[in-house]
Structure 1
Amino acid sequence: MTVFSFKPTLSVLTVATALSACTMMPRYEQPQVNVPETFRHDTQPETGIQAASLGWQDYFADPRLHRLIELALNNNTDLQEAALNAEAVRRQYMISRADLLPGINASGNGQRGRRAADLSGGNAMVSESYSVGLGITAYELDLFGRVRSQAEAAKQTYFSSAAARDAAHLTLIATVAKAYFNQLHAEEAMVLAQNVLKTRERTYELTQLKHRAGVVSALDLRQQEALIEAAKADYAAAVQSREQAQNALSMLINQPLPNDLPQGLSLEEQFKISKLPAGLSSEVLLNRPDIRAAEYDLRAANANIGAARAAFFPSISLTGTIGTGSTELSGLFEGRNRTWSFMPTINLPIFNWGRNRANLDLANIRKQIQIVRYEAAVQNAFRDVSDALVAREQLDERYDATMRQRQAFADSLRLVRLRYQHGVSNALDLLDAERNSYGADTALLNIELTRLENLADLYKALGGGLKRYTEDPS
């Protein structure tokens, strides 16, 4: 048996690899966006921890919320779609990268047939042939980096899709947290409305006694009845809000709410860290998945320019085979029956200069579009963080002020109620005191919800705790 030499094929591979090291991609330069180095209203707590190194389990404190987020990350359809999109783009990159190396295929065939006597000089003939071989079909020598540029563009597109998946991941965490906070807020609003209703019913009973005794008028009695109905309406609205929040959670986790969820915490205990620092704006840009996606899109556009430039130059394709053939199966592997062929093809662009010029101009314009989008993404990210920081600071001040107001109105209601019971204050004073106290309680509860939503939004705006997908997707 003859041992075949693959030196011609190996030589072709060696030359192709050396030539493909050249590309015509422009040197990538990250756009400089004019944003301040630091954020106003930022705080530096004693921990000094940054959002990028803080997982959501270390930020949110409620074990019930932890379980809901886990279910959402496993079951949410939007996140699953984003992950599948990223995987599809990764496969497309692997296809593009495969074009960098020649594909070697093995083939074998045999044929045996009888030729009619009239077609072969009066004598019937039986012929047979056999062949086996290895071949390369239309492999392009990437002399000017066209294929390499296309593969690089495909890789950067994958990185962009992975960053989009990260953004969906982070958005889902914040959305689940906010829906859960709304459920807790609605439940506390229900409790508040029930307590107010019980208090107003007791006041109404006292007013009825005074009305029978002729101390107060029917108008006072009707006003108390109106307050009772208002409390019932507030309770019904809170029930509606709770049910809607539960529906939102069910949709986010893609299943009904489980019955075995852990015991939850109160609104005041939802976060382990309430003063998460923003840090330098440049760090935020690295952590935000939408910023990373915008930059990867820009890198892909930059690589496409290299492919468009390479189209102006000749391309060479190689087709070659090596093998053996024989008219007899027993002689198939004899050395004298070795076969080979080598068929290079060169393609010279002559009359398509206008098309190639337009393609190059289009690639440059698309790069400029991506630069604009990158700058817009950076500016939007800076605004998101700045808005969240100033909201956190002002919400804290509003919460403290409303807490003091609530206490003042609660003390006032207690005193007015005592005066009313002893006939010193009239029903109008009591009604005003009850409205003020209930309004302060409701305002405090609403501000608490807004504070929690702000902290969830800030974690998202800072790109908290996500892995950066910059490794080779192969």
Structure 2
Amino acid sequence: MRSLILGGAALLAACSTTPRLDLPAAPVAPAYPVVEGGVAADMPTARSLAWRQVYGDPRLQALISLALDQSRDLRTALLNVEAARAERRIARSPLGPSLDVGLSQTRERSPTQGRSDTYSVNLGLTAFELDLFGRLRAESSAAYERYLASETGARAARIALISAVATAYLDERLAAEQLTLTEATLADWRASFDIAQRLKSASQASGLDVAQAEGLVRQAEADREAGRRALAQARNALELVVGGPVPASLPTAISLADQPLPTQLEPGLPADLLVLRPDIAQAEHMLRAANANVGAARAAFLPRISLSGAFGGASTDLGALFNPASRAWSFAPQITQPIFRNGQLRGGLALTEARKSIAVAAYERQIQVAFREVADGLAAQATFANQAHVQKGAADAASRRLHLSSLRYRSGLDGRLELLDAQRADYAARQTLLSLRHDQLASMVALYAALGGGLDRPQSREDLR
């Protein structure tokens, strides 16, 4: 009979109410869209490049290091890991017994016996639940998965922070270089305006020529104020993402045209994103936690067996408290079967199942977002290089036109209107070239982050266990 009871208990202990979880298939194409002029052969992968290899600008490297040290967002993510680790420890504690030791003295007085003292000491086991149906194990598993989710969330926050610093730095560089270009153009146009005024004073130019020259100057002055505002706001954004003021001792910035970022990255297959992207791993862990919560909600319908007991001694003489004759013990097993909870248990189960369905959708959605980000990045790297080359040719042509128009104007072959049009075209072409170079670099930053770049090394689920 005893062996039968032990065998039945072992069988019950092997039972689990947590449903088997089969991760849904990735709701994306098995390969990225093919873009003409795509990735060349033998290109490095994002996982093979540390962020210092990708961002070769010493000033940008220093800014990223500062951000990793003092960013409040990253600090919050790391503190969330500590909180999740503590929650996991709390969730695991019911799987083991809780023992307490107590020592007490009771003094009382009665009319018949007068005053008396009673001393007691005991070691107690308080309501230790035998987890026969896996409720406590499911709750502990859910806490563990949330802990893993917080860790992968911290790595995702690191990738996002590095990408945000690089993007903010490029924004600041664009604003600074556009302002420099505007100020240089304004100086040239003021000189042309001064010449037009002097020519008019000498009756060699009309009021129309002066008005046209003045219009360019005023437009450039307006652009300068807009550029100053854009630069101030870009620096504010950079300081926010870095987590503090930018030190004046940092290395000199490299221009956008000379930024040493890679021009192409090998993306691999969409299936690789399940390992490369910490945010996808985070969504997976949250799905596993939701699945474990379903198991805990199912187990709540089943009986609970708990054990309470105490061993110690009691005596009216403190010196005899530990004598054999003073020993006392108690043992109180208890089984509880829910009968009627007015829909509480069914509501709890329905809630956990709904949250699991939400977690499935969130997991699939995260995969789709990652796929779209990589696909966008691949489209950008396949087209930006040619576009930048063409735009560079357009800017060079506009500069040559301006030079020739200036010569023809000074020779009296062309009117001032042609010169002003050439000046406007040259200014616009160089502004466009700066914006295009910025967008090209920003797209590489985004692709590097989309492919999981920015970690010291790729980590999988097994690395965390």
TM-score normalised by the chain length of structure 2:
0.90
Hey, what's the Cα distance between the residues in 1 that align with 2:307 and 2:50?
52
Q: In structure 1, what residue type is equivalent to 2:49?
A: L
Secondary structure (helix, strand or coil) at the match of 1:37 reads coil
Is structure 2 residue 389 aligned with structure 1 residue 400? yes
Name whichever of 34-43 and 361-370 sits farther off: 34-43
Aligned CA RMSD, in angstroms, stands at 2.5
Which residue of 2 is the match for residue 463 of structure 1? 452
The one of 84, 89, 101 equivalent to 1:89 is 84
- For residues 338-395 of structure 1, give each alpha carbon's deviation from its aligned partner in whole angstroms, at most 9, with x where no partner exists: 2221101100122349543343333222222211221122112111211122123222
> Residue 132 of structure 1 aligns with which residue?
121
Output the amino acid matched with 2:104.
N
Provide Cα deviations, 1:240-268, integer angstroms capped at 9, x if missing partner.
11111111122223322222222222213
Task: Tell me: CA distance 1:205–1:17, structure 2 relative to 1, closer, same or farther (3 Å).
Answer: farther
Q: Taking every aligned residue pair, what percent have the same amino acid on both sides?
A: 40
Q: What letter is aligned with 1:420?
A: Y
Secondary structure of 2:247's counterpart equals: coil
What residue is the counterpart of 2:263 in the other structure? 274
Alignment match, 2:166: 177
Matched, 1:107 2:96: no
Q: 2:175 aligns with which of 186, 194, 202?
A: 186
After TM superposition, give the deviation of residue 85 of structure 1 in Å: 2.6
The Cα shift of 1:94 comes to 1.0
Q: Secondary structure at the residue paired with 1:395?
A: helix
Asked if the contact 1:312/1:353 (under 8 Å) is kept, the reply is no
CA distance in 2 between counterparts of 1:339 and 1:268 reads: 86
The residue aligned with 2:222 is: 233
Distance in 1, Cα, partners of 2:403 & 2:232: 34
User: Is the 8 Å Cα contact of residues 43 and 264 (structure 2) preserved in structure 1?
Assistant: no
Residue in structure 1 matched with residue 69 of structure 2 by the alignment: 74
Give the C-alpha shift of residue 320 in structure 1: 1.0
Match of 2:412 in 1: 423
Report the equivalent of 1:197.
Answer: 186
The 5 Å alignment of 1:238-257 reads: 238-257=227-246
Partner of 1:33: 26
The equivalent residue for 1:362 is 351
Give the superposition deviation at 1:327: 2.5
Residues in 2 aligned to 1:355 and 1:259: alpha-carbon distance in whole angstroms: 62
Output the CA distance in 1 between the equivalents of 2:422 and 2:55: 37
Q: Where does residue 452 of structure 1 map in the other structure?
A: 441
Contact 1:392/1:451 (<8 A) preserved: yes
- Bigger mean CA deviation after superposition, 30-39 or 199-208: 199-208
CA distance in 1, matches of 2:13, 2:39: 50
| 1:157 Cα deviation from its structure 2 partner | 1.6
Deviation at 1:317, TM superposition (A): 0.8
8 Å CA contact 1:155–1:473 kept in 2: the answer is: no
- 2:151 pairs with 162, 167, 179, which one? 162
Structure 2 gaps, min length 5: 1-7
Matches within 5 A, 1:315-464: 315-352=304-341, 354-464=343-453
Would the aligned equivalents of 2:152 and 2:278 in 1 still touch at CA under 8 Å?
yes
Counterpart AA for 1:217: S
The residue type equivalent to 2:24 in the other structure is P
Change (3 A) 1:340 1:47: farther
Q: CA deviation at 1:70?
A: 2.0
Shift of residue 170 of structure 1? 2.1
Q: Amino acid of the residue matched to residue 387 of structure 1?
A: D
- Find the residue that maps to 2:95 and give its secondary structure: coil
Provide the residue aligned with 2:251 in structure 1: 262
Deviation larger for 18-27 or 51-60: 18-27
| Most deviating of 412-421 and 226-235 | 226-235
Corresponding residue of 1:4: none
CA-to-aligned-CA distance 1:18-59 (integer Å, 9 cap, x gap): 975642211121111231222235755566432234332221
**Partner of 1:11 in structure 2?**
none
Distance 2:328 2:318 in 1: 15
The 2-side partners of 1:320 and 1:472 are apart by: 41
> Of 130, 133, 137, which residue of structure 2 is paired with 1:141?
130
Change in CA separation of 1:41 and 1:214 when aligned onto 2, cut-off 3 Å: farther
2:3 paired residue number? none
Identify unmatched segments of 5+ residues in structure 1: 1-14
Q: Which residue of 2 aligns with 1:58?
A: 53
Q: Structure 1-normalised TM-score?
A: 0.88
**Secondary structure of residue in 2 paired with 1:320:** strand
Further displaced range: 50-59 or 64-73: 50-59
Compute the displacement of 1:68 (Å): 1.6
- In the TM superposition, residue 112 of structure 1 has moved relative to its aligned partner by 4.2
Match of 2:5 in 1: none
Q: How far apart are residue 236 of structure 1 and its match?
A: 2.1
Alignment correspondent of 1:216: 205
Any idea what SS the aligned residue of 1:139 has? strand
